[in-house]
Chain A
């Protein structure tokens, strides 16, 4: 798997397999709570964001699964997690394409995790270019941009 954020490829400090695994499916993570740090949990696209609030102080990363390039549930989950107060690392993991990147960042994700084959077909330059291609945004977003409505208000 390859990991990138808005600056390019990055090393993944989280490990899924082996004795030192610290990125765990939500069920397996429950017993590691308080014992393992940093700790990441992986949640499916069916996750109820409300049910995760109790874990916010005990996990450092939440990875949301995107099972297909047409499946946008993860965007709502990510945004809801931020609204509910999660301040740790937020990862979109799975079948994303570069054209999803800007939306993921806008919804509060920090990073995207894709498989090696996709990383070879869609190299990091394409992700970074896609992330910045649309300048303004009408929506209130979490990627540092001010919304058009806010900009008009300030003008």
Chain B
């Protein structure tokens, strides 16, 4: 019994915290559905402010999970993000871990 509890805690602690944060999880999930995503779409669908989205994208880029391409369309800055292979692996791993955790949880009465 003690072992099971210990294993469950270990499984929770093993979850990638960079991916686990809700806003970043939403960003990664959106990116997983496409090859390249413009900032405006991420902002709208993830319901994040520009600053918040920018900060999360920087963290994901620093960890190598996301690749950012900055350019200009006319005079307007254009930011596009895509998921790297490492990012895709991290998201898959995270989803598998969460699914396993939920499966192992005791059923509610």
Q: Do A and B bind each other?
A: no
**Which residues of B are in contact with A by a Cβ distance under 8 Å?**
none
